[in-house]
Amino acid sequence: MSQLPSPARRRALAAIGAAPLLLLAGCGFQLRGPRPLPFDSIYLGMYQYSDLAAAIRRQIRASSTTRIVDTPEEAQVRLEVLADAKEKAILALNAQGRVREYQLRQRFYFRVVDKAGREVLAPNEIYLKRDLAFDDSQLLAKEQEEILLYRDMQGDLVQQLMRRLAAAKMPEAEPKP
């Protein structure tokens, strides 16, 4: 039969267990929060009712004070989508010549320009890919998995876009004569 630790021993064990937490709190560590965008207003040059546009709007509203405006004339900067393409490529076939694995890909090309047409962000590409094992006996499940993977890729795309927008440097205003 084991003995219970004495009250002094319990206090010592609690102090040893709390020491790493106190050290971590004392060093100034904190989770990285959202970074503010370096502009006051933005126009999203894309179909406003798409899932991607809705996700970008949601993220901008949640993580910054930047306003999303309805016309390019009102905006300090414009996000211009040069290309947004999803594709599905065959990666592997089985011995019977049936698809065993696909690769889902998404390419998103964009640039950001200010009111004067100067580039705030040069043309940029976000390229995402996911592998999808395929079994034609589980067709409905694999279709659902594909939808979920594309949704996950869209979330990653929005996060990468937000980081790139936050890192943008606004061009200096031209001096007035």
If phi > 0 it is left, if psi is from -120 to 50 it is alpha, else beta; for residue 97 that is left
Q: Where is 109: in which H helix or E strand?
A: strand 99-114
Best CA proximity match to 164, nearest among 86, 107, 112: 112
In this predicted structure, what is the pLDDT of residue 71?
Answer: 94
In this predicted structure, what is the pLDDT of residue 32?
Answer: 65
In this predicted structure, what is the pLDDT of residue 6?
Answer: 79
Condensed to tens digits (0 to 9), the pLDDT of residues 49-96 reads 999 999 999 999 998 889 999 999 999 999 999 999 999 999 999 999
What residues contact 13, with CB distance under 8 A and at least 6 apart?
5
Domains and CATH numbers, the chain: 35-166 (3.30.160.150)
In this predicted structure, what is the pLDDT of residue 26?
Answer: 65
Q: What's 93's DSSP letter? A: E
Condensed to tens digits (0 to 9), the pLDDT of residues 10-46 reads 887 777 877 777 776 666 666 666 678 999 999 999 9
